[in-house]
Amino acid sequence: MKYIIIAIIIFLFVKSYVKFKRKMKYFGVVAAYLHDKANTTPSVEILLRLSSAFIEIQHYKDACEILEDVAAEYPNHFQMDKIAANIKFCKNPCPGVKTLKNFNESWLHNFVLVRFGNRRFNFLSDDDLLEVNSLIRANM
């Protein structure tokens, strides 16, 4: 009985880890796509979506830089409350993280973040995800 429980726990850990790595890989492609798009046609909306992609791949320092630039350049933006909340999240995403830094695809950080993470807003649109899905399918 003890071996069955250990096997189930190992199976659940491996399943969770593989799911996390797939998510990181996918949102890495989303971030690269939006970064290229922001370099060619910069706009506030694209920069906000890029910051959300950076938050998804745990690059909080990069996301905070973008959000602070947008907040400084457009202080009367209609989503300023969400931008301020995301800046606050980037500076303290979950208990134990008090500094602004980029993580390197940390499964343990994601585990804590999902359970105890602070509030954040996602600016990614369905159109972005559809375009990235099309790019991924075209490259297969």
* Tens of pLDDT, residue by residue, the chain (140 residues): 899 999 999 999 999 999 999 999 999 999 999 999 999 998 999 999 999 999 999 999 999 999 999 999 999 989 999 999 999 999 999 888 888 889 988 898 999 998 998 999 999 999 999 999 999 999 87
pLDDT value, residue 105:
86
What are the residue boundaries of the structural domains of the chain, listed by start? 21-138
Residues ≥6 apart with Cβ < 8 Å to 105: 21, 24, 57, 58
Q: What confidence score (pLDDT) does residue 98 get?
A: 83
Global pTM value: 0.91
Closest residue by Cα to residue 122 from 29, 47, 32, 55: 55
